[in-house]
Every structure is written in structure tokens, then in C-alpha cells.
Structure 1
Amino acid sequence: MTDISELRKNNSWLMVRAAVASLLVSFTLILIKGWAWYISGSVALLGSLMDSVMDMLASAMNFMAVRYAIVPADNEHRFGHGKAEAIAGLIQAMVITLSAIMVMVEAVKHLITPEPIQQTDIGIIVIVLSIALTMGLVGYQKYVVRKTSSVAISADSLHYAGDLLLNLAVLAALVLGGYLGLEIFDPIFGLGIGIYLLYNVYLIAKGSIDMLMDREMEESEREKIIEIVRGHPEVRGLHDMKTRRSGLDSFIQLHLELESDISLHKAHRISHEVEHELQKAFPDAELIIHMDPEDVVAKENVQFEIPE
């Protein structure tokens, strides 16, 4: 139990540090992109700026959600506070939708009335710097997600990863518009950026809704659970397996099918051994295991199934 508590503590601090890093990077990007857009007038750069503003707001909400989500379970929240992450994800989705609409409206205006881009060199330098900062942040966030499976950090990482493509599009728009005189490409790229932001909204909202609706864990994880349980030589089968995730925590419950005439002590030992193996594979999981005699299971015609 001490190892599990220590793991949770380490993962909690990783999530908080990732949230803080996101805030610092987004604030820096707003400053440099705002200055570059002001002197260049690029719609694509405006789109990137608005995305960074939305990132800042979303990251601030993320930080608050993560701080709340890592609070351990209490008397009023027996399953913990992990779903705060999913709520933050949905708020992020709404914020990003607004930024996408703003960029697309501005892009349409410039499609109707194209305007030349000013100070192209400065704009390009700012975008290259933005790409470098974003790559560093995304790399760190992906490391944290691998360690913690955090939905909030994953959502944050997802749209920052999208920012890399967005910034490349802005770079192309600046080169085509500023150096080649093809101003029409600036609003076209801006429109494409708005569409890409809406796609990110779909991905973020889907992950958040899955958590709020208690979607089953991934099929590969469920199959691993089944493999571990059936791998015990004294287990005859299992049924009624249910799984879900909530922030840092996972919840796994199942019924073990055991020999009908064994003692309660032996049944307890088998259950404890199965629980120990599952806990090693899923250290963040809370396990609920019920034991059934196999003849009762057969009489009641309980069917073993993997939830779809």
C-alpha cells in the first residue's frame, strides 16, 4: 500500500508540474505572437495567437482541475475527485471552439479583401521560436501522460501537438504571403487552422465524455486483466467484469469462479493472490473481487463475457 501511495504522490506532482509548464509556455507564446501579429497583420499569425490565448485559458483551468483531481478520496467523494479532469476537458473544448470560430471569421474577411503581410522576417522568427517551445512542452507532457494516464494533461498535450502543425501552416503562410506576394494563402491557411482546431475539439470532448460516462478501459487492458485472473491455477473462470477510469485512478471489479467445496480460508487466499497480481499490473487500480462457487455459477447459467 505504501508503494501505491508513493506512486500516486509522484504522479500527482508530475501532473502539477506539467500544468505549470503549460501555463508558462502559453503565456510566453501570447507575448511574442501578439507582438508579431501587431506588426505583421497576418491572419494566420492571428489564428496562432488566438489559439495561444485559448491555450492559456485552457491551461489555467487545467491547472485548477489537476490540483483538485489529485486530492485523495474523502467521506463525500469516496471514488476520488478524478472526474474534475474530464470537466476541465469539456471546458477546454468549448474554449477552443470559440477561438476556432473567431479565426475562421477573420479568415473569411481577408479572403474577401486580401491584405499584404508586413515584417515577414520577424513573424517567421517568432513562429520558429514558438515551434521550439511547443516541441519541448509536448515532449514533457507526453512523458507525464505515459506515467500518469492523465486525461487533462493528455487533452492539453493534444492541442499543443496540434499547435506544431498550426505553426508550420503559419510559417508557410508567412513565406508565401510575405516573400512571394501570394496574400490569398494567408487567410486560406487561417481557415484551415480553424478547421483543425475544431477537429481537436472533437478529440478532447470525446475523451472527457468517455470518462464522465464511465467508459470501459481499453480492450488490451481488459484482456490483460482476464489473462492474469485465468492464469491462476485454482481459478475456474470469471464473469461480470467491469472497469472504468477516473483521473489518476482505475476501478476494476469482477467475480471469481472457484471450486465449490473449498474452505472460506482457501477462497480468500486465492482471491488475495489474484488481487496481488492485478495490483502489480495496475498499481493505480482499486479492486473489488467477489467469489462465486462454480456449481452455483453453472446453475444460474452465468455467461462469461468481455464488455464491448
Structure 2
Amino acid sequence: MEISAQQLSTRNARLLRLATYASVMVAILLITLKAVVWFMSGSVSLLASLIDSLMDAGASLINLVAVAYALTPADKGHRFGHGKAEALAGLAQSVFIAISAIVVLQQGIDHLLNPRPLEAAWFGVAVMLISIIATLLLLAFQRHVIQHTGSTAIRADALHYRSDLLMNASIIIALILAYYGVPGADAVFGIGIALLIAFSALQIGRDAVQILMDHELPDAVRKEAMALARSVPGVIDVHDLRTRESGQQWFMQLHLELPGDLSLTDAHELGEQVRHTIIRRFPQADVLVHKDPVHPQPSAQTQTAD
């Protein structure tokens, strides 16, 4: 059963809002638990995780505002909609994450040079296990949302939470090693986590910049759009396909080569067939079609006669 562009937009808007609410709720829960146990233990790896969760909460709040703005309809000042607010949110997230990486790195180096006793390690382990379960549940829902919407903001959020899984597992190992007297384990793991966070920030920032710079849609999408246009009877060829992404909206512009003796009405109807053929396959696409007349070249025999 085909879904209309309006139904797709409504469904995606609902999924995006639910994803942002879920992310904020999980971040607040984890911040509360980690803050209590870090205060009890003084663990630098737990501090790293706490700061990371604080950044998660800040990024999720940015997402909440950005997604709500991105979903507002196009207006006089923004004829192409407000979708790039999602990419701006992703860029802001990368800055937050990079700051958290620097703070954790500084704390890790300080604890490595000036070791401190670790208390309440098993409480920390329990909190990390709760964090892993909550993060897995959130990621499962985010994966569902990304599959249906392709949201840059939710993808950035999910990337960060995926790195949290490895981080939480490493913190459990660090706490256990520190509890059994392995010197510097907690600090070393904290430094490793900081480097992982920095790498995540780089990935998120790069993806956001690509969208803000109107990077083309994937080659597979472009090739399929060209093939769909060429499949419409009466189209001689297609060229100059240009694409970009803005939030939930794709924009495509292409030139159709049509017989030069077509009437304006027939050329328009053929262009509309191409446009609807592409939209049926990609309901999120806004397709603009330009028609180029192609006149048959005179044959060699005719040229000789002339």
C-alpha cells in the first residue's frame, strides 16, 4: 500500500517528536544516577560518563527545539522549509561533544598523575548496567525512527548513544580493575573514553556540514531517479540532475530532453508524468522538471539535396 506525501510527513513528524522526548528522558535519568554515584566514588571514568550524559541532555534539548522548528511548514521567508535546522542541531551537538571530550581528557590526565582512592565501585557498576539497558532500548527506538525519517539530528543523537554503550562497558571494567587495586585503570579508561567522544564529535560535525553545504544525495538515489525519468514513454533523455537534502525534504532538479515538435501542453503533461513517477518512489522529494526541446538532425541525404 502506497503512502501519500502528506501521510509520510505526518508519520515522520510524530516519530521525530517521540524520539526527541525519549532521548531527553533517558539523559535526565542517567544524569541523576551517575551524579549520585560519582559523588560517592570520585571515579574519573564515572565523571567522564556523567559529563557525557550532561552533553547528551544538552544535545537532546537542542534536538527537541530544532526538530520542532524543522517540522514547521515553509513560509514566505523560507520557501524551501526549515529542514536545515536539523543539520544545525547536529553541528551544535558536535561542539557540545568536543567540549565534553576536552574536560574528560583533562580529568583523566590529572587522575593519572595524581592517583586517588576509589570508593563505592560496585554502585558504579550497577549504574553502568542500568545505563546500558536504558541506552539499548533508546537506540532500538532511534533506529526505527532513522529508518523511516533519515533524520540528521536523530542520527547524530544515536551515534553518540552508540558510543555510550562501549563507554559504559569500559567503565565497568575500569571500576572492577580499580577496586582490585590495578593502579591508574580508572584514569586510563577515562582518557580512552575522551578520545572516543572526540571521534564521535568529528563524525557528527562532518555529516552536519555536508548537509548545510547542500551535498548531493547518495549516488544510488540519483541513479534511480534518472532511471525512473528515462522510463517514462516519450522522454528522449535526462541530464543535469541536481539534488540536495533539507531535514525531511529532498529536492531534485532535472532536465528532460523531449521531442521539439511537442505542443506546450503535451510537454507539460510529460513533465508531470516524470515528476509523479519519481515522487511515487521517493515521497519526500520535491521535484522540479525543466523541458529541453530536441529537434531531429537533418540526414546526410537531405543536406546533399540542399
Q: In 2, distance between residues paired with 1:274 and 1:129? A: 52
Residue 265 (structure 2) aligns with: 265
Kindly indicate whether the alpha-carbon contact (under 8 Å) linking 1:26 and 1:53 is maintained by their aligned counterparts in 2. Answer: yes
Residue 36 (structure 2) aligns with: 35
Describe the SS at the equivalent of 1:118: coil
Residue 301 (structure 1) aligns with: none
Kindly indicate whether the alpha-carbon contact (under 8 Å) linking 1:116 and 1:181 is maintained by their aligned counterparts in 2. Answer: no
Deviation at 1:94, TM superposition (A): 1.0
Describe the SS at the equivalent of 2:241: strand
Q: In 1, distance between residues paired with 2:151 and 2:278? A: 20
Residue 240 (structure 2) aligns with: 240
Q: In 1, distance between residues paired with 2:167 and 2:222? A: 36
Which of structure 1's runs of 4+ aligned residues deviate more than 3 A?
Answer: none
Residue 302 (structure 1) aligns with: none
Moved more, 38-47 or 247-256: 38-47
Q: In 1, distance between residues paired with 2:44 and 2:167? A: 12
TM-score using structure 2 length? 0.93
Kindly indicate whether the alpha-carbon contact (under 8 Å) linking 1:131 and 1:164 is maintained by their aligned counterparts in 2. Answer: yes
Tell me the matched-pair count: 297
Residue 12 (structure 1) aligns with: 13
Kindly indicate whether the alpha-carbon contact (under 8 Å) linking 2:232 and 2:274 is maintained by their aligned counterparts in 1. Answer: yes
Q: In 2, distance between residues paired with 1:55 and 1:95? A: 9
Q: In 1, distance between residues paired with 2:90 and 2:24? A: 16
Whether 2:81 is the aligned partner of 1:72: answer no
Residue 206 (structure 2) aligns with: 206
Alignment of 1:108-123 (within 5 A): 108-123=109-124
Structure 2, unpaired ranges of 5+? 298-306
Deviation at 1:259, TM superposition (A): 1.7
Residue 44 (structure 1) aligns with: 45
Structure 1, unpaired ranges of 5+? 299-308
Describe the SS at the equivalent of 2:283: coil
Deviation at 1:38, TM superposition (A): 1.1
Describe the SS at the equivalent of 1:14: helix
Describe the SS at the equivalent of 2:188: helix
- State the AA in 2 paired with 1:248: Q
Describe the SS at the equivalent of 2:4: helix
**Rg: which structure is higher?**
2
Kindly indicate whether the alpha-carbon contact (under 8 Å) linking 1:93 and 1:202 is maintained by their aligned counterparts in 2. Answer: yes
Q: In 2, distance between residues paired with 1:39 and 1:263? A: 80
CA-atom RMSD, angstroms? Answer: 1.7
Kindly indicate whether the alpha-carbon contact (under 8 Å) linking 2:261 and 2:295 is maintained by their aligned counterparts in 1. Answer: no
Residue 293 (structure 1) aligns with: 293
Whether 2:163 is the aligned partner of 1:155: answer no
Residue 216 (structure 1) aligns with: 216
Deviation at 1:13, TM superposition (A): 1.2
Kindly indicate whether the alpha-carbon contact (under 8 Å) linking 1:116 and 1:183 is maintained by their aligned counterparts in 2. Answer: no
In the TM superposition, what whole-angstrom CA distance separates every residue of 1:256-287 from its partner, at most 9, and x where no partner exists?
Answer: 01122222232222212211110011101111
Describe the SS at the equivalent of 2:291: strand
- State the AA in 2 paired with 1:269: E
Kindly indicate whether the alpha-carbon contact (under 8 Å) linking 1:104 and 1:191 is maintained by their aligned counterparts in 2. Answer: yes
Residue 182 (structure 1) aligns with: 182
Q: In 1, distance between residues paired with 2:79 and 2:231? A: 31
Kindly indicate whether the alpha-carbon contact (under 8 Å) linking 1:256 and 1:289 is maintained by their aligned counterparts in 2. Answer: yes
